[in-house]
Amino acid sequence: MLTPVDLKTVASLTTYYPREVVFYALINAINVKFASSDRLYARLTNDPSSAFYSLDYPLDLDQTKCSELFRHFGRQIFFGPNDTYPAACFYAKFRNLLGLLIRNGLYTELVSVPAQQPAQAQASQNNTVTVGSFCFNKNVVPQEILNSTFPSCGRNIKLSAGGTVQTTTTETQKFDDALLPASKMRTTTTTTNSILPVTGRTFKVEFAGVGWVEITFEMRSPNGFLSYLGSWFNVRDKLPFASDLRPFAGYGTPPALQIYNGGPYLSVLNGPSASCYTSVIYNGQIYCVPMEATHSSMLMDIAVILRNLNISPTDLNAPISVRVAQ
């Protein structure tokens, strides 16, 4: 439950849930670094509790001042005004960058690749494994706005793991070697290692007015996703997920908007309700997810799926041996 969710799980979830929902739920942070300078680095966190503008007022989550950072497209959308570690608006900068990537076709896909196996077995076996990968779907945008090193979806771009060439020369002595030159046979053996797909989380993207930046996706663990929901529960009355202030307009694709339906990101009532999708008693109080809160119920489903994918029978307590005697 503490292991980061792999891209195969992310890609599998996007086959059923809207990709925006999955990305916002499972991407914990985006690390940004200028390709030309190691000193310009920022960690943009997907945590609503870090949506403050000033470190001096961490409880002030008003996004009006944060929205001013995006009026001019420059380095301040990633870093602070002095090109140093960003002093504030971590969450706003994350939302802006992820939203921009999604609008330009950020997707995940499942790719079948040869399984890594010993060189001796590669010639006789044809095993394949399925992995997940980030990619750009160019069909969802009218033209390519961003230059990037993201692979295009469906192209199945692969990286070769390298290979070795072995050459063996053998000589065969025959009875008539006294009259004829010794017979020689040359054998060439070529060994190629497994082909590895592009499944990394680090890519370079060129932004207009900014230049090339290196971005790295940091994924959540299942427990981290539960903590993320807890952060939203704590700020549910202070920070709206959708707003008229750009770039904090929430989801942008029709499937995600239909599920969100203008409600809060997380709707959990403290007290009994007429109808609950799910409820729990904690510290003597009842917490309920209303039946009409479709977005919140979907997040609860994702939490259950992540839990089921990350437990095994060996995680359960060993049964107690009982001996019955007469």
What would the mean pLDDT of 42-49 be, rounded to a whole number? Answer: 89
Alpha-carbon span 239 to 51, nearest angstrom: 8
Alpha-carbon span 45 to 27, nearest angstrom: 9
219-235, pLDDT tens digit by residue? Answer: 999 999 999 999 998 88
Alpha-carbon span 200 to 148, nearest angstrom: 14
Alpha-carbon span 126 to 115, nearest angstrom: 8
Q: Is the pLDDT of residue 182 over 70?
A: no
11-20, 272-281, 282-291: the lowest-pLDDT one: 272-281
**pLDDT tier for residue 299 given thresholds of 50, 70 and 90:** very high
Structure tokens, 253 = 């694709």
Alpha-carbon span 83 to 79, nearest angstrom: 6
51-61, pLDDT tens digit by residue? Answer: 888 777 888 88
Q: What is the pLDDT of residue 236?
A: 81
Q: Is the pLDDT of residue 194 over 50?
A: no
Q: What is the pLDDT of residue 243?
A: 56
21-30, 92-101, 181-190, 260-269: the lowest-pLDDT one: 181-190
Which of 81-90, 122-131, 166-175 has the highest average model confidence (pLDDT)?
122-131
Structure tokens, 75 = 């380095």
> What beta strand segments (E) does the chain contain?
27-34, 41-45, 106-114, 128-136, 147-148, 158-160, 163-172, 183-192, 195-197, 202-207, 211-219, 269-270, 276-282, 285-290
Q: What is the pLDDT of residue 24?
A: 93
Contact residues for 322 (Cβ-Cβ < 8 A; gap 6+): none
Structure tokens, 152 = 């295009």
Q: What is the pLDDT of residue 176?
A: 54
The angle, 0 to 180 degrees and rounded to 10, between the axes of the packed helices 19-26 and 90-103 is: 150
Structure tokens, 43 = 């960690």
Closest CA to 9 of 110, 113, 146: 110
96-120, pLDDT tens digit by residue? Answer: 888 888 888 888 888 876 666 555 4
**pLDDT tier for residue 175 given thresholds of 50, 70 and 90:** low
Contact status, residue 24 vs residue 231, Cβ threshold 8 Å: no
Closest CA to 100 of 240, 249, 212, 220: 249
Q: What is the pLDDT of residue 64?
A: 80
The count of residues in the chain is 326
Alpha-carbon span 313 to 23, nearest angstrom: 29
User: What are the boundaries of each domain within the chain?
Assistant: 7-107+199-233, 158-197
**pLDDT tier for residue 165 given thresholds of 50, 70 and 90:** very low
Residue with tokens 């370079």: 204
Alpha-carbon span 295 to 303, nearest angstrom: 13
Contact status, residue 46 vs residue 217, Cβ threshold 8 Å: no
Average pLDDT of the residues of the chain:
75
Largest CA distance in the chain: 104
**pLDDT tier for residue 160 given thresholds of 50, 70 and 90:** very low
Report the DSSP beta bridge partners of residue 167: 188
Q: Is the pLDDT of residue 161 over 50?
A: no
Which of 248-252, 260-264, 306-310 has the highest average model confidence (pLDDT)?
306-310
Q: What is the pLDDT of residue 158?
A: 53
Q: Is the pLDDT of residue 34 over 90?
A: no
68-72, 148-152, 275-279, 319-323: the lowest-pLDDT one: 319-323
Stated as kind and residue range, the H or E segment containing 64 is helix 64-67
Q: What is the pLDDT of residue 167?
A: 47
Alpha-carbon span 118 to 121, nearest angstrom: 6
